[in-house]
Amino acid sequence: MHRLHRAAGAGRDLLARLADGRWELFAKASDVHTFVRSASFPEQEARIEETGVAVRVTSGGRTGFAAASGLEAAAARHAIEGALASALPQPHDPIPPARLLGSIQPPERPGPPAPGWASFISERLDGRIRAESRGLLTPVRISVHEGRYAWILTNGEGAVATHQSTACSVTAELAREGWGASRQWVWVSDPAALDPEELAIRITDRGLLGGHPGSLRSGLWDVLLASEVAAQLLAALAPLFVAGHGRGDALARLLDREGRLASPMLTLVDDRSGEHGPLTAPCDGEGLPARRITILEEGVPRHRIASYGDALSAGDPPNGGARRVSYRDPPVSGLANLMVITSDGEPPGRLLEQAPSAVYLTRLLSPVAIDAERNLVRMLASGLRLAGSRPESWHPLLELRCGLGPMLRSVDAVGTDLEWYETAAGYVGAPSLLIRRQPVFEGG
């Protein structure tokens, strides 16, 4: 953190001399350690350290952004000169005023794991997965990721926000003869409390989920989405809830006469407060205090995620919805921790009881395809035919193709088995979802 403060100080001094107008400076340092245990290669370790400075400047209706690697004064100078040289006309000043800025104190997260933790966890998982599956599953690759991050955000009005955090995750790539490969990502909220035996059982159960191949009568079925499939569906929906994507009209066309997008069972929030989810921070990517943003309340759209500039363009009040993908990128409207509220959810066993004869989609075979303009959704997945709440047959290729709005309004129950997943739209926390009477076809 000392290096970050020194870089910010050097940048402030240069900006005071070079910039005529308002400015914002962001400096970040990260250290990511990856340990890989593979069935085909010796153990591998990699460590990537990354530092950089980013600057936004605005003056006379023009705004510029640039970034440079490193934390030395030269990096700050390169970023400032690049921002000034790249300034273009903007309809709004995208840098939030100081009166909107602030920060919270996010809950303290556990520190980084002890040395050797990654090697120990990967070895135990490898052995336990083979034992639990009785040799049916082969761990092709187990990757353990440990990250440390620190950043500082400051501006010409004297506002300063700082943050330090750690992050751990495990990725297991498994092979099963005749079934192909599968990949499971697991967020580790507390490395010291992680039980490798319990995690191996969870991974194995998912990897073995299947049954005897059978045939399925195409038609209307109750559909149970596994939490991972539900998470990818919500990630595909994310552009509808994010300002700046030009999807406002499409969202409006998906609503029913009551203004409802989904059933009353579905409430979605983007929780930036740090109480839930992998991504924690005291503020958003521009310095507005972190908060929980209600996106969908009992099926009714409430707020769009928006950066300060996008909120002004859309005529919305700023809500602290900016995200920085890296120091190289300017802050944009984006989700942080999209989460389904499960306080009224059903335990997984009870959810199965409510779907005694259903199709259970367990693994996506391609990205969820959404055509919001035509109100359509298509999912290709493998899954199970349930009979009496038990697996009856396994189906390697199933297709769900239906109206997007009607499907979302047919969500009848949510589970309590919420898990976090890393998606292209950010982190998504989703449980199993039970959807009534949807068209399912075998063979795609």
Q: Model confidence over 220-267: pLDDT tens digits?
A: 999 999 999 999 999 999 999 998 755 557 898 999 999 999 999 999
The average pLDDT across 50-55 equals: 97
Look up the CATH number of the domain holding residue 58. Answer: 3.30.2290.10
Highest mean pLDDT among 169-183, 315-329, 407-421: 407-421
* Residue at a domain's end among 54, 70, 100: 100
**118 — phi, psi (to 5°)?**
-60, -45
If asked whether residues 251 and 379 sit together in one domain, one would say yes
If asked whether residues 260 and 391 sit together in one domain, one would say yes
Q: CA 371 → CA 73, 160, 288, 300, distances in Å?
A: 48, 42, 33, 20
In a domain, 251, yes or no: yes
Residue 245: per-residue pLDDT: 57
Angstrom distance (rounded) from CA 161 to CA 66: 20
Q: Are 226 and 362 in contact (CB under 8 A)?
A: yes
* Residue at a domain's end among 59, 75, 100: 100
**439 — phi, psi (to 5°)?**
-75, 125
In a domain, 128, yes or no: no
Residue 330: per-residue pLDDT: 95
* Residue at a domain's end among 83, 100, 117: 100
Q: Which residues, 6 or more positions from 205, have their beta carbon under 8 angstroms from its beta carbon?
A: none
| CA contacts within 13 A on the Cβ side of 289 | 9
Angstrom distance (rounded) from CA 418 to CA 413: 13
| Tokens at 442, concatenated | 């075998």
Is 163's pLDDT higher than 70?
A: yes
Residue 390: per-residue pLDDT: 86
Angstrom distance (rounded) from CA 73 to CA 59: 23
In a domain, 12, yes or no: yes
In a domain, 37, yes or no: no
In a domain, 134, yes or no: no
183 by Cβ neighbours in 10 Å (0-12 / 13-18 / 19+) ranks as exposed
H/E element, 141: strand 138-155
In a domain, 138, yes or no: no
Which one-letter amino acid corresponds to residue 47?
R
Residue 274: per-residue pLDDT: 76
Nearest to 189 by CA among 170, 204, 216: 170
Residue 389: per-residue pLDDT: 84
pLDDT tens, 324-350? Answer: 989 999 999 999 999 999 999 999 999
Is 192's pLDDT higher than 70?
A: yes
The average pLDDT across 134-142 equals: 94
| Tokens at 358, concatenated | 């259903």
If asked whether residues 230 and 92 sit together in one domain, one would say no
Instruction: Report the domain count for the chain.
Output: 2
In a domain, 304, yes or no: yes
Strands (E), 346-432: 357-364, 369-371, 376-387, 390-403, 411-414, 419-423, 426-430
If asked whether residues 291 and 431 sit together in one domain, one would say yes
In a domain, 400, yes or no: yes
Q: Which residues form the domain of 419?
A: 219-442
* pTM for this entry: 0.94
